Amino acid sequence: MTQRARIIGVGRHLPARVMTNDDLARIVDTSNDWIVERTGIRERRIASETETTSMLAAEAARRALASAGVDASEVDLIVTGTCTPDGMFPAVSTLVQHAIGAGDAMTFDVNAACTGFLSALSTARQFIATGQAKKALVIGAETMSRIMNWEDRTTCVLFGDGAGAVLLEGVPDEDGASDAFVLHSDGSQSGLLYATGPCGPGEALAREAHLVMNGAAVFKHAVTSMSEACLEVIRDAGLTPADIDLVVPHQANRRIITAMADRLGLSGERVYMNLERYGNTSSATIPIALAEATAEGRLKAGDHVLLCAFGGGLTWGAMTFEWAGIRNPEAAVADSVVAAEVAAE
């Protein structure tokens, strides 16, 4: 029988260093008022010199496992969405496999920029559906600070570093659960948002890599494409917007999220936002938000959850599914020995 993937664990990990809007105003010609009014962002986290994307990813993965009460040895697939890996290879997922002790699990990364987590989650779901994997970690992890042009005020105020993870488990697909996903892309628009150069740690590399964006054009595309993708999956799942209990959108800009939610007719409390604390962590925004929504008690078993994202490529997509419930929700955001050690470095 076909298997259906359900989320049984979720976790997130952020670097300890906080960079506020006022900190940024000392680097580029900007202000706290402008950033808050135009984006909703108040602060973001920045990785230390020694923190890598895979380190953030591994810590988020540990918390996802702890929240589910599952040992790393049970994981047979790890897929990470990232556009800022530690290096060209090995894959971040492979480094995570070693760091957490996930046997000889299948591991690979996907890159769809800010849509990376949705692409990774959709991919892992297919492995679960066919029975090829029984328990899969899906991670979104980024060190966007390493590809910022810190002289460009139109981009460097928007992004931050962090990681989130979910643990999927396959269950027999016999209860007619309403879930669906769509992923789309338009490479003809690649010039609107792209990054050049390598992105690993180290000053020399960081100077070579930078992100370039036409903010206004991406803004318009984001609102239209995310709302259309949301309506597509809601329809495919046999639902209406009124059935959605919580939307967890990609956290790029408060105005984008509000405009999209308005188009869907969804009111404030059904739309999750935490971008004021972390900014845009690219493929990590959705799993970080899911972990925090879980810990805050915003999700209960049986809720219809709607995820949506857009990003460089351009890429965009949406997914809806029923929330299964997490055994230890507080573990999703708990501090750990490893996190404390990293922060102390």
> Nearer to ligand UT7 by C-beta: 14 or 324?
14
> Nearer to ligand UT7 by C-beta: 160 or 170?
160
114 in active site: yes
Kindly determine how many residues on this chain lie close enough to bind ligand UT7 according to the rule CB under 6 A: 20
Contact with ligand UT7 (CB under 6 A) among 47, 77, 121, 158: 158
Does 218 bind ligand UT7 (CB under 6 A)? Our answer is: yes
Does 224 bind ligand UT7 (CB under 6 A)? Our answer is: no
| Cβ pair 195, 209 in contact under 8 A | yes
- Beta pairing class for 43-45 and 18-20: antiparallel
In whole angstroms, what is the distance from residue 78 CA to residue 334 CA? 22
Shortest spacing between CB 84 and ligand UT7, in angstroms: 13
User: Residue 286's closest CA among 245, 246, 229?
Assistant: 246
Q: Pick the piece of the chain touching ligand UT7 (CB under 6 A) from 76-84, 128-136, 177-185, 214-222.
A: 214-222
In whole angstroms, what is the distance from residue 273 CA to residue 288 CA? 11
Shortest spacing between CB 215 and ligand UT7, in angstroms: 3
Does 216 bind ligand UT7 (CB under 6 A)? Our answer is: yes
Contact with ligand UT7 (CB under 6 A) among 18, 198, 219, 328: 219
250 in active site: yes
User: Residue 12's closest CA among 48, 64, 53, 66?
Assistant: 64
DSSP 12: E
Helix, strand, coil percent content, the chain, rounded in steps of 5: 40, 25, 35
154: Cα within 13 Å, side-chain hemisphere? 10
Does 192 bind ligand UT7 (CB under 6 A)? Our answer is: no
Contact with ligand UT7 (CB under 6 A) among 10, 47, 148, 157: 157
Catalytic site residue from 230, 280, 304, 308: 280
Does 154 bind ligand UT7 (CB under 6 A)? Our answer is: yes
Does 167 bind ligand UT7 (CB under 6 A)? Our answer is: no
In whole angstroms, what is the distance from residue 237 CA to residue 224 CA? 20
Does 200 bind ligand UT7 (CB under 6 A)? Our answer is: no
Does 108 bind ligand UT7 (CB under 6 A)? Our answer is: no
The residues pairing with 4 across neighbouring beta strands, listed in sequence order, are 171
In whole angstroms, what is the distance from residue 103 CA to residue 76 CA? 8
User: Residue 309's closest CA among 269, 255, 251, 254?
Assistant: 251
> Nearer to ligand UT7 by C-beta: 15 or 279?
279
In whole angstroms, what is the distance from residue 15 CA to residue 95 CA? 18
Alpha-helical segments (H) within 18-78:
21-25, 32-39, 53-68
Residues in region 247-276 near ligand UT7 by CB under 6 A: 252-253
Does 119 bind ligand UT7 (CB under 6 A)? Our answer is: no
Does 153 bind ligand UT7 (CB under 6 A)? Our answer is: yes
Shortest spacing between CB 263 and ligand UT7, in angstroms: 16
**What CA dihedral angle connects 246, 268, 265 and 317, to 10 degrees?**
-50
Shortest spacing between CB 24 and ligand UT7, in angstroms: 8
User: Residue 106's closest CA among 142, 71, 143, 132?
Assistant: 132
Q: Pick the piece of the chain touching ligand UT7 (CB under 6 A) from 45-53, 84-92, 152-160, 225-233.
A: 152-160
Shortest spacing between CB 252 and ligand UT7, in angstroms: 3
184 in active site: no
Shortest spacing between CB 35 and ligand UT7, in angstroms: 6
List, in order, residues 6 or more apart from 45 with CB less than 8 Å away: 14, 15, 16, 17, 18, 19, 160, 161, 162, 278
Q: Which residues bind ligand UT7 (CB under 6 A)?
A: 30, 34-35, 38-39, 114, 153-154, 157-158, 213, 215-216, 218-219, 222, 252-253, 280, 311
> Which residues does the annotation mark as catalytic?
114, 250, 280
